[in-house]
Amino acid sequence: MPIRAFSAELPIWVDEEVAASRADLGTDEGRMRLLNRLAERNVAEGSGGPFSALAVRSGSGEVVAAGVNLVLASGLSSMHAEVVTISITQARLGTWDLGSLDDPLELWVNWRPCAMCYGATLWSGVRGLVVAGDGPELEVLTGFDEGPMREDWAQQFEDRGISVRVGVLTDEAVAVFERYAANPDKVVYNATLTDGS
């Protein structure tokens, strides 16, 4: 009987890190510090790349879920931090449409989403995106391919009712990528797309 299901499981330490940061999560900077800790620990734990996300209620500021990149842990190339966080949030809240909530959600990410997560964010129903930065630093420093993005990606979000904010603790996020770049044990898991690459 062939395999008919797939799954991803959030490591237990993710919610432990959220709980340990609780007093710091009322501020923009505190949320980004948590994202950077999650991204860096994810590499140390071997689950995936240095990427993390939070789903935060716009009104109350409650963190509904935190997630990390689980490509290596799950063996599935789609399990980027945004897809994981959106999926865990939808599982916890019992709806595939996060836009239907009374207190809408924002997605916080430690850098601009890749081409896939750009669309995943759109379909999730979140009403806002907050990222530490959106420049070429991620690709240049880490070697991860982010894919072809539209130049007007942020405007396309705004046009669909998703607010975009760029630039919270940018230097700290870049520092995580710099330490990743210097790590001799890092795994850059871009798919093999051409013969011999």
- In whole angstroms, the minimum distance from the beta carbon of 24 to a second copy comes to 19
Q: Rule CB under 8 A: is residue 60 a binding residue for a second copy?
A: no
Q: Give the C-alpha separation, 38 to 52, whole Å.
A: 6
Binding residue (CB under 8 A) for a second copy from 76, 164, 166, 181: 76
* Pick 10 or 32: Cβ nearer a second copy: 10
Residue with tokens 């240049």: 140
Q: Which residue in 23, 26, 136, 148 binds a second copy (CB under 8 A)?
A: 148
- Min. distance of Cβ 169 from a second copy in angstroms? 26
Cα separations (Å) of 171 from 1, 52, 132, 160, 161? Answer: 50, 16, 8, 29, 28
- Note whether 4 binds a second copy by CB under 8 A: yes
Q: Long-range pairs for 113-117 at CB < 8 Å and ≥24 separation?
A: 113/80, 113/82, 114/80, 114/144, 114/145, 114/146, 114/147, 115/146, 115/147, 115/148, 115/149, 116/78, 116/80, 116/83, 116/147, 117/80, 117/81, 117/82, 117/83
Q: What is the nearest approach in angstroms of a second copy to the Cβ of residue 89? A: 10
Which of 17, 58, 72, 172 is close enough to bind a second copy by CB under 8 A?
Answer: 72
- Strand 128-131 to 63-68 pairing: unpaired
Q: Is 135 in the site for a second copy (CB under 8 A)?
A: no
Regarding 88 and contact with a second copy (CB under 8 A), the answer is yes
Q: In the complex, which residues of this chain contact a second copy (CB under 8 A)?
A: 2-10, 12, 14-15, 65, 71-72, 74-78, 83, 86-88, 90-92, 94-100, 114-120, 122-125, 127, 145, 147-148, 150, 152-153, 156, 160-162, 189-195, 197
